[in-house]
Structure 1
């Protein structure tokens, strides 16, 4: 059944088309509308309950995909890879590829909180999965488009020596080598909301190991740590 608001119905149909689902897919449109309604719009009619369901859906989808695609991996490796796949950073990345924030109803007050953008995108993405799952009580509307993202992500993760957490990997290396923690220095170099608002430098023993930029301090530090860790890793690989 369609929504009573033609403009919103067209918006959601556009998103469904981006997902690659047919327009006659058995979607419960009121659930999809709820999945893309932030709590700042309505205290009672928002995505929170669907997000709860979607959290389980993305874990189940990732588990099925891993078992089918990599049946020989040990369970510990399954768990490690899945934890990265279902992280806010990864889910927000997938959501961004569909410009999900353009479909999200959210108050301007929340939009001004740029630090909450990643979690907002991840939450709404999980809610989207929850709405699609509850439309059929199966993964029939989820796996046809999400599997391709999982294929790419898992391949990335399996070949990444830092398992996508460069700050942790760099810290482990500096502690192992020097029993010291790296130091991060932050500069605010861009406009609020810009992708390169913050610049981070990572230092150790008076030497700058890397520099990176990001929309948030956390993202900039992760980018700087990535530069530093990969330089160290590649240097060690060359020597080896």
Structure 2
């Protein structure tokens, strides 16, 4: 795609690239596609030509970058833990934090009605961040414009997740696994065993998938009980897949 970009918009995009720590003086054969980068920062609310397709590509680029980082930086980490950590690294919450870190909102073109929609802000920023990743990937057809600035962020986030294991989202990892291999999702059955706040076994959860129980877990909240059950289920299902089940 080729299109004329307003000089002021071009300068703003160059400022964003500088914030990411990328040089405008790139090696021969490597160039940022400024038209795609501009489009990445056009919200669907403001124009018919917008960032939705780039967001789709950026989601895949983000997952690939996170997987490559974890394999290189944490080669002894189990596949189950990698999947759980990656689910956090690519979450909307993480993407919104990343967008805020680089002040992405000031570059995003949105309609006046969307600008007033504060509850929708995190989702808009997460989508725009993915679209930026998509534009950078499309510029060079690889991750060379993404990993130099994204890896340090991944490193910081991974250390935080490892220090607080409760942030490892095994529910998301299990869902990703079953969706990828079976095109279906697990179901959870939860029972409240008592009403004592803070009791680590207040709730009991059980994961069912394809009419089979894969894991049980307890926790002081429904979410934590489901996470405990999902962690067991993920390990069992991963082992079954590796055994050809």
Distance 1:179 1:92 in 2: 31
Q: Counterparts in 2 of 1:11-30, with a 5 A limit?
A: 11-25=12-26, 26-30=31-35
Matches within 5 A, 1:93-108: 93-108=97-112
Taking structure 1 as the reference length, the TM-score comes to 0.69
Tell me how far 1:119 sits from its aligned partner.
0.6
Following superposition, the deviation at residue 120 of structure 1 comes to: 0.5
Q: Who is 1:89 aligned against?
A: 93
Aligned pairs for 1:1-240 (under 5 A) are 3-25=4-26, 26-43=31-48, 45-163=49-167, 174=198, 176-179=200-203
CA distance in structure 2 between the partners assigned to 1:30 and 1:175 by the alignment:
55
The answer to whether the Cα contact below 8 Å between 1:133 and 1:139 also exists between their aligned partners in 2 is yes
Conserved in 2, the CA contact under 8 Å of 1:92 and 1:121?
yes
Structure 2 distance, partners of 1:2, 1:108, is 25
Structure 1, gaps ≥5 residues long: 166-171, 181-203, 205-224, 226-240
Q: CA deviation at 1:67?
A: 0.1
TM-score normalised over the length of structure 2 = 0.67
CA distance in 1, matches of 2:202, 2:77: 34
Distance in 2 between the 1:2 and 1:14 partners? Answer: 20
User: Is the contact between residue 157 and residue 164 of structure 1 (CA under 8 Å) also seen in structure 2?
Assistant: yes
Q: How many residues align?
A: 180
What is the rounded CA distance, in whole Å, between the counterparts of 1:98 and 1:2 in structure 2? 25
The alignment partner of 2:35 has SS state of helix
